[in-house]
Amino acid sequence: MRRSWCCLLICSAAVWIGLPAAAENGAPSSPEPSLEYRPPRPALPVPKEPIPAPPVTMFTESVGTFGISTGSFDGPIDVATDSEGNFYALDAGNNRVQKFDKYLKYVLSFGSYGSRPGEFKEPRAIAISPGGLLYVVDSGNHRVQQFDTNGVFISTWGALGSRVNNFKYPNDITFENDTTFWVMDPGNERVVKYAFPSGHEKGGSPRFVEEFGSTFAKRGAVFTGLVSLAWSNDSHLGGLYVLSDGCLVQQFRTDGSVEKSWPAIAPESGLCVPARIEVDDSGTDDYVYVLDAGNGLLLRFNLDGRFLAALRGAERPFSQPLGFAVSPERDEFYIADTKNNMVQKFTLR
């Protein structure tokens, strides 16, 4: 993440709310954090007034309005980015994926309502693998579908149930590498790890590796209210990060035991309604991002849970945002501003 921000404000301003420049004004740092399926999501509280904080200048633009035409949305719920600067919005109400280039120009869309390959029912998450394939968590059909970045269907797996290759309303996916990934399965109160045989990630079926969940209580992995998950390859604090109700973040070792847990709540923000977690470990400084839908904030923490800052909507305040993505270059954020039926883009300057 770039260390300095210029004072140029293009279009409209966003606000990073967080640690007020302690080096400049001597303000104390935030205290260390203490340890401690269900569709439909609970009703979200009315967003609070903005938390007072000095602004940080950023550029922002957006795409979308309510509708069914291309470039319009009905409840965009998640976003993914690829290595070429394109982004993919999961348009849940229209049961489709829309692709845009880095200039927010519409490129293509695919998907419709149904249960056949390439169709969706209540999709909940979208992600691009390190190998460049697109995955959609098709929650209402209890499966995951795989596409190329032009929307061409490749494969699908999963069905309603509780066995190793079944799901019950899956709602998120994260990747360790281009052939190994985790799926969050809240209906079965577990997270499940899969891997493709080498060279078979396109068109093949992944094999079950392991699961963390209620059956692993002796190792500390007991889940309720699973919301989102993310993977970090950080050499010190890497592993699986799981976000659950109450904005609780749990970091797991590879054996399923809990390394650390902490509440992902911004100071003075009040009740948190968690929506999505992502880990950015691609640079010198690594961050955990948590989207707080209730307060309309994208929160930034370091990997051990220390609050750093928060991003609030610029063109208009976020209204129950449910998904986001960080660009590979780490200088752009795409927020699925769900109730405003738009995707807001922030470019750090």
Residue 8 has pLDDT above 70, yes or no: no
> In 3-state terms, what secondary structure has residue 241?
strand
Question: At residue 48, does pLDDT exceed 70?
Answer: no
Written as six digits, the tokens of 290 are 């948590």
Domain chopping of the chain, boundaries: 15-348
Instruction: Check whether 22 has a pLDDT greater than 50.
Output: no
Question: How far are the Cα atoms of 27, 120, 138, 159 from residue 117, in angstroms, in the given order?
Answer: 55, 8, 11, 13
List, in sequence order, every residue forming a beta bridge with 125; answer none if it has no partner: 137
CA distance 183 to 186: 10
Is the pLDDT at 227 greater than 90, yes or no? yes
Q: Is 254 exposed, middle or buried (0-12, 13-18, 19+ CB in 10 A)?
A: exposed
Tokens of 189: 């109160």
Query: Strand pairing partners for 243?
Result: 228, 249
Residue from 230, 311, 319 nearest 278 by CA: 230
Average pLDDT, the chain: 83
| Residue pLDDT, tens place only, 153-171 | 999 999 999 998 899 999 9
Cα(304)–Cα(287) distance, rounded to whole angstroms? 9
Instruction: Quick: pLDDT tens for 170-223.
Output: 999 999 998 999 999 999 999 999 999 877 778 788 999 998 886 544 455 667
Residue of higher predicted confidence among 209 and 33 = 209
Token pair for 280 = 């950015």
Phi and psi torsions of 215, nearest 5°: -75, -10
DSSP 154: E
pLDDT single digits (tens) 100-154: 999 999 999 999 999 999 999 999 999 999 999 999 999 999 999 999 999 999 9
Token pair belonging to 270: 């009040």
If pLDDT is split at 50, 70 and 90, which confidence band does 3 have?
very low
CB atoms within 10 A of CB 70: 11
pLDDT higher than threshold 90 for residue 255: no
Residue 194 Rama label (left phi>0; alpha psi -120 to 50; beta): beta
d(CA 287, CA 25): 24
- Distance between terminal CA atoms of the chain? 10
Q: Is 161 helix (H, G, I), strand (E, B) or coil?
A: coil
3-state secondary structure of 145: strand
Mean pLDDT comparison of 64-68, 232-236, 309-313, highest-scoring range: 64-68
In this predicted structure, what is the pLDDT of residue 220?
Answer: 53
The residue that leads in pLDDT, 77 or 32, is: 77
pLDDT, position 13? 41
pLDDT band at residue 314, thresholds of 50, 70 and 90?
A: low
Structure tokens at 273: 């309604």
CB 194, CB 177: distance < 8 Å: no
The size of the chain, in residues, is 349
What predicted TM-score, i.e. pTM, was given to this entire model? Answer: 0.83
pLDDT at 188: 93
Q: How confident is the model at residue 57 (pLDDT cuts 50, 70, 90)?
A: very low
Measuring CA to CA, which residue among 53, 320, 319, 349 is closest to residue 333? 349
* 15-348 fold: Neuraminidase (2.120.10)
Q: What b/e sequence results for 197-224 when a residue is b if at least 16 CB atoms lie within 10 Å of its CB, and e otherwise?
A: eeeebeeeebeeeebbbeebeeebbebe
The answer, yes or no, to whether residue 292 has pLDDT greater than 70, is yes
pLDDT of residue 309: 87
Residues 6+ apart with CB under 8 A from 284: none
CB 149 within 8 A of CB 131: no
Task: Tokens for 19, please give them.
Answer: 């640690």
